[in-house]
């Protein structure tokens, strides 16, 4: 089932709508918004059958538009950071907007996270909402007119799937993702240090002091970045490690060990207190695990006035490697005319 309701009006008078999706009574329920293509909430049951929203988000459109952190938004044209706010493609240099310490983060000054997406929906076997956006040639400095469609759908086994598709009329670079902030204890339950994470990832990218990859793909062996065996997020968080110190915690890209372009389970998160668990399945090669290090009070509290605080949520942004436009040895980020960019990430919820 899918329902649609007015969320608010843009400053220019355009109406913004929110959709609620649910496959069946007793299953997870999600809300998505046209502004930013934002995933606003996911209500999932705990071990006692009590439903709680496990995503951070906002009560008002004003908060959603003015806040920092890209909370729940679709990210594009390029997720994560591009060093020096520039790249060279087919012999031509492109200059981007430097919105993060001289670098470009999550698409630039006005990325996909702050655009109003067109929408439609289907209430069939898999309740779905379709968001579409046309990004014109040289939007935020990126070449090519890019036509994007992102679908949110809920399956019968309590999985929220996100399908990304795009085509271009000129060779460009692209990396789309979603920036949902998870707390499996509930968005207002505090620090996530006791929540358990496991990732099928034996390597991560080292970064400089501006969080741009140095080019070194390092083994996680013997480091705080080893989540190959499940462990609490906080277990090694305060280890004297230079990479953790630079980022104020985890804000790094991990490379999956068994990537082959097929959708498979690569991450499991679990909250021992509530019994809620979540599997992440994707056909992408990497994930940016971010432990909410920059979540601070910016005057835009989460639902019900709940104030933001560091490490009160975590992000699992499936993607290709950051700064790939500047590093040919990294994962491919180039999309050419006639090609289809197509990828899927799924979040399956259950109780342990």
Q: Which domains does the chain have, with CATH numbers?
A: 2-351 (2.70.98.10)
The predicted pLDDT at position 68 comes to 85
Q: Exactly one of 34, 140, 317, 346 is catalytic; which is it?
A: 317
Q: Which of 106, 179, 252, 300 is catalytic?
A: 179
> What local confidence, expressed as pLDDT, does residue 125 receive?
87
Question: How open is the CA angle 158-162-167, to the nearest 5 degrees?
Answer: 160
The pLDDT of residue 124 is 84
Segments in the chain below pLDDT 70:
none
Active site residue 317: yes
Q: Residue 135 pairs with which residues in a beta bridge? A: 146
The pLDDT, as a whole number, for residue 210 is: 95
Active-site annotation holds for 179: yes
């Amino acid at each position: 089932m899918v329902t649609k309701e007015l969320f608010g009006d843009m400053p220019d008078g355009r109406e913004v709508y929110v959709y609620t999706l649910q496959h069946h009574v007793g299953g997870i329920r999600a809300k998505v918004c046209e502004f930013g293509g934002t995933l606003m909430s996911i209500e999932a049951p705990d071990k006692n059958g009590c439903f709680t929203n496990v995503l951070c988000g906002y009560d008002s459109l004003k908060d959603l538009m003015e806040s920092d952190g890209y909370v729940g938004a679709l990210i594009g044209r390029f997720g994560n950071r591009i060093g020096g706010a520039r790249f060279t493609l087919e012999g031509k240099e492109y200059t981007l907007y430097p919105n993060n310490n001289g670098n470009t983060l999550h698409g630039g000054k006005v990325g996909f996270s702050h655009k109003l997406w067109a929408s439609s929906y289907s209430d069939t076997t898999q309740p779905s909402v379709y968001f579409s956006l046309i990004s014109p040639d040289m939007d935020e400095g990126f070449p090519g007119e890019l036509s994007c469609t992102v679908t949110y759908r809920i399956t019968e086994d309590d999985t929220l799937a996100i399908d990304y598709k795009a085509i271009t009329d000129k060779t460009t670079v692209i990396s789309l993702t979603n920036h949902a902030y998870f707390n499996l204890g509930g968005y207002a339950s505090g620090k996530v240090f006791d929540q358990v994470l496991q990732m099928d990832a034996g390597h991560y990218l080292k970064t400089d002091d501006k969080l741009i990859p140095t080019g070194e793909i390092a083994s996680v062996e013997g480091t705080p970045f080893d989540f190959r065996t499940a462990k609490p997020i906080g277990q090694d968080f305060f280890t004297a490690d230079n990479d953790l110190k630079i980022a104020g915690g985890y804000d790094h890209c991990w490379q999956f060990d068994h990537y082959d372009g097929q959708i498979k389970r690569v991450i499991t998160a679990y909250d021992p207190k509530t019994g809620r668990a979540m599997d992440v399945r994707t056909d992408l090669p990497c994930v940016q695990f971010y432990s909410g290090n920059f979540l601070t009070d910016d005057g835009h509290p989460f639902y019900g006035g709940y104030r933001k605080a560091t490490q009160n949520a975590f992000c699992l942004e499936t993607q290709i490697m950051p700064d790939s436009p500047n590093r040919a040895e990294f994962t491919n980020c180039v999309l050419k005319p006639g090609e289809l960019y197509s990828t899927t990430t799924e979040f399956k919820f259950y109780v342990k």
